[in-house]
Amino acid sequence: MAPYRHLSEEHEVTVFWYNPNIQPYREYLRRLKSLREYTKNMGIPVIEDLSYPAEDWLMKAAMLSKKSNVLRCRFCYGDRLYRTARVAKINGFDAFSTTLLLAPYQKHEMVREIGEKIGRRVGVPFYYEDMRKWFEESEEMARKAGVYRQGYCGCIFSEIDRYWRDNP
Protein backbone atom coordinates (compact mmCIF):
# COMPACT_ATOMS: atom_id res chain seq x y z
CA MET A 1 0.00 0.00 0.00
CA ALA A 2 2.67 2.51 1.00
CA PRO A 3 4.84 1.71 -2.04
CA TYR A 4 1.94 2.60 -4.32
CA ARG A 5 1.33 5.83 -2.41
CA HIS A 6 4.95 6.97 -2.69
CA LEU A 7 5.77 5.71 -6.15
CA SER A 8 2.61 7.12 -7.70
CA GLU A 9 3.67 10.62 -6.63
CA GLU A 10 6.21 10.56 -9.47
CA HIS A 11 5.19 7.65 -11.69
CA GLU A 12 2.13 6.12 -13.27
CA VAL A 13 1.94 2.80 -11.42
CA THR A 14 0.00 -0.32 -12.38
CA VAL A 15 -0.30 -3.21 -9.94
CA PHE A 16 0.43 -6.69 -11.28
CA TRP A 17 -0.87 -9.85 -9.62
CA TYR A 18 0.89 -13.15 -10.29
CA ASN A 19 1.33 -15.37 -7.26
CA PRO A 20 1.34 -19.10 -7.98
CA ASN A 21 3.43 -19.44 -4.81
CA ILE A 22 0.51 -18.84 -2.45
CA GLN A 23 -0.90 -21.93 -0.78
CA PRO A 24 -3.29 -23.28 0.08
CA TYR A 25 -5.63 -22.12 -2.65
CA ARG A 26 -8.10 -20.56 -0.23
CA GLU A 27 -5.32 -18.30 1.04
CA TYR A 28 -4.56 -17.36 -2.57
CA LEU A 29 -8.21 -16.43 -3.09
CA ARG A 30 -8.32 -14.48 0.14
CA ARG A 31 -5.32 -12.33 -0.79
CA LEU A 32 -6.62 -11.84 -4.33
CA LYS A 33 -10.03 -10.77 -3.06
CA SER A 34 -8.41 -8.33 -0.69
CA LEU A 35 -6.29 -6.84 -3.48
CA ARG A 36 -9.32 -6.51 -5.75
CA GLU A 37 -11.41 -4.76 -3.11
CA TYR A 38 -8.67 -2.33 -2.15
CA THR A 39 -7.58 -1.41 -5.68
CA LYS A 40 -11.18 -1.00 -6.79
CA ASN A 41 -11.93 1.34 -3.89
CA MET A 42 -8.80 3.36 -4.56
CA GLY A 43 -9.11 3.38 -8.35
CA ILE A 44 -5.74 1.67 -8.81
CA PRO A 45 -5.17 -0.06 -12.16
CA VAL A 46 -4.43 -3.78 -11.94
CA ILE A 47 -3.31 -6.47 -14.35
CA GLU A 48 -4.05 -10.00 -13.17
CA ASP A 49 -2.35 -13.19 -14.23
CA LEU A 50 -4.30 -15.95 -12.55
CA SER A 51 -2.05 -18.82 -13.62
CA TYR A 52 -1.84 -21.34 -10.82
CA PRO A 53 0.20 -24.36 -11.92
CA ALA A 54 0.02 -25.96 -8.49
CA GLU A 55 1.58 -29.34 -9.33
CA ASP A 56 4.53 -27.96 -11.29
CA TRP A 57 5.17 -25.19 -8.80
CA LEU A 58 4.98 -27.42 -5.76
CA MET A 59 7.10 -30.16 -7.28
CA LYS A 60 9.86 -27.74 -8.16
CA ALA A 61 9.66 -25.88 -4.84
CA ALA A 62 9.63 -29.11 -2.83
CA MET A 63 12.65 -30.47 -4.69
CA LEU A 64 14.61 -27.28 -4.04
CA SER A 65 13.35 -27.00 -0.49
CA LYS A 66 14.92 -30.34 0.34
CA LYS A 67 18.28 -28.80 -0.57
CA SER A 68 17.76 -25.36 0.94
CA ASN A 69 15.15 -22.68 1.56
CA VAL A 70 17.40 -20.17 -0.18
CA LEU A 71 17.27 -22.11 -3.45
CA ARG A 72 13.51 -22.45 -3.15
CA CYS A 73 13.07 -18.69 -2.66
CA ARG A 74 15.48 -17.95 -5.50
CA PHE A 75 13.30 -20.00 -7.83
CA CYS A 76 10.15 -18.31 -6.50
CA TYR A 77 11.53 -14.78 -6.90
CA GLY A 78 12.81 -15.58 -10.38
CA ASP A 79 9.50 -17.03 -11.51
CA ARG A 80 7.48 -14.05 -10.34
CA LEU A 81 9.92 -11.37 -11.44
CA TYR A 82 10.35 -12.90 -14.88
CA ARG A 83 6.59 -12.93 -15.41
CA THR A 84 6.36 -9.34 -14.22
CA ALA A 85 9.14 -8.20 -16.53
CA ARG A 86 7.52 -9.92 -19.51
CA VAL A 87 4.18 -8.26 -18.83
CA ALA A 88 5.92 -4.90 -18.45
CA LYS A 89 7.73 -5.40 -21.75
CA ILE A 90 4.67 -6.56 -23.68
CA ASN A 91 2.57 -3.67 -22.37
CA GLY A 92 5.24 -1.03 -23.00
CA PHE A 93 5.97 -0.05 -19.39
CA ASP A 94 9.17 1.88 -18.68
CA ALA A 95 10.17 -0.36 -15.77
CA PHE A 96 8.98 -3.05 -13.40
CA SER A 97 9.43 -3.57 -9.69
CA THR A 98 8.12 -5.67 -6.81
CA THR A 99 6.66 -5.32 -3.33
CA LEU A 100 9.10 -8.05 -2.31
CA LEU A 101 11.37 -5.05 -1.69
CA LEU A 102 9.01 -3.93 1.07
CA ALA A 103 9.08 -6.86 3.47
CA PRO A 104 11.99 -6.95 5.94
CA TYR A 105 11.85 -10.76 6.09
CA GLN A 106 12.55 -11.22 2.38
CA LYS A 107 16.02 -11.84 1.01
CA HIS A 108 16.34 -8.25 -0.10
CA GLU A 109 19.67 -8.34 -1.91
CA MET A 110 18.69 -11.52 -3.71
CA VAL A 111 15.47 -9.92 -4.94
CA ARG A 112 17.44 -6.96 -6.23
CA GLU A 113 20.07 -9.11 -7.94
CA ILE A 114 17.47 -11.31 -9.65
CA GLY A 115 15.30 -8.35 -10.64
CA GLU A 116 18.22 -6.54 -12.26
CA LYS A 117 19.41 -9.66 -14.07
CA ILE A 118 15.95 -10.39 -15.43
CA GLY A 119 15.49 -6.76 -16.41
CA ARG A 120 18.63 -6.94 -18.56
CA ARG A 121 17.53 -10.25 -20.10
CA VAL A 122 14.00 -9.13 -20.95
CA GLY A 123 14.98 -5.59 -21.94
CA VAL A 124 13.01 -3.55 -19.43
CA PRO A 125 14.72 -1.90 -16.42
CA PHE A 126 14.16 -3.14 -12.91
CA TYR A 127 13.16 -0.23 -10.67
CA TYR A 128 15.00 -0.62 -7.37
CA GLU A 129 14.19 1.22 -4.17
CA ASP A 130 14.68 0.04 -0.62
CA MET A 131 10.98 -0.04 0.23
CA ARG A 132 11.59 -1.45 3.71
CA LYS A 133 11.50 2.15 4.94
CA TRP A 134 7.75 2.08 4.13
CA PHE A 135 6.98 -1.22 5.84
CA GLU A 136 5.57 0.18 9.09
CA GLU A 137 3.56 2.78 7.22
CA SER A 138 2.16 0.05 4.98
CA GLU A 139 1.15 -2.04 7.98
CA GLU A 140 -0.58 0.95 9.52
CA MET A 141 -2.42 1.76 6.31
CA ALA A 142 -3.61 -1.86 6.05
CA ARG A 143 -4.80 -1.83 9.67
CA LYS A 144 -6.73 1.41 9.16
CA ALA A 145 -8.31 0.23 5.92
CA GLY A 146 -9.23 -3.14 7.47
CA VAL A 147 -7.33 -4.94 4.73
CA TYR A 148 -6.45 -8.61 5.25
CA ARG A 149 -2.83 -8.99 6.39
CA GLN A 150 -1.06 -12.21 5.56
CA GLY A 151 0.35 -14.29 8.39
CA TYR A 152 3.15 -15.90 6.37
CA CYS A 153 5.07 -15.38 3.16
CA GLY A 154 3.05 -17.56 0.79
CA CYS A 155 4.09 -21.13 0.08
CA ILE A 156 3.08 -24.06 2.21
CA PHE A 157 6.67 -24.38 3.44
CA SER A 158 6.64 -20.84 4.79
CA GLU A 159 3.27 -21.51 6.41
CA ILE A 160 4.71 -24.51 8.24
CA ASP A 161 7.81 -22.54 9.27
CA ARG A 162 5.62 -19.76 10.64
CA TYR A 163 3.20 -21.87 12.65
CA TRP A 164 5.62 -24.60 13.67
CA ARG A 165 7.47 -21.95 15.63
CA ASP A 166 4.34 -21.34 17.71
CA ASN A 167 3.23 -24.99 17.97
CA PRO A 168 6.25 -27.27 17.62
Name 138's Cβ contacts closer than 8 Å, sequence gap at least 6.
1, 2, 3, 102
If the CB atoms of residues 6 and 108 are measured against ligand SF4, the closer one turns out to be 108
Residue 102 in the binding site for ligand SF4 (CB under 6 A): no
Binding window for ligand SF4 (CB under 6 A); candidates: 68-76, 113-121, 122-130, 135-143: 68-76
Q: Does 98 bind ligand SF4 (CB under 6 A)?
A: no
Pick between residue 18 and residue 157 the one whose CB is nearest to ligand SF4.
157
Residues in the chain, how many? 168
Contact 116, 83 (CB under 8 A): no
Q: Peptide bond preceding 24: is omega within 30 degrees of 0, i.e. cis? A: yes
Residues between 134 and 163 that touch ligand SF4 (CB under 6 A): 153-155, 157-158
> Do 30 and 152 touch, CB atoms closer than 8 A?
no
Between 14 and 69, CB nearer to ligand SF4: 69
* Contact between 72 and ligand SF4 per CB under 6 A: yes
Say if CB 80 and CB 114 are below 8 A apart: no
**98 or 138: CB nearest ligand SF4:** 98
Q: Looking at 2, 73, 101, 124, which residue binds ligand SF4 (CB under 6 A)?
A: 73
What part of residues 14-43 is at the interface with ligand SF4 (CB under 6 A)?
Answer: 21
CB atoms inside a 10 Å sphere around CB 130:
10
Nearest Cα to 97, choosing from 70, 77, 74, 73?
A: 77
Catalog residues that contact ligand SF4 under the rule CB under 6 A: 21, 61, 72-73, 76, 153-155, 157-158
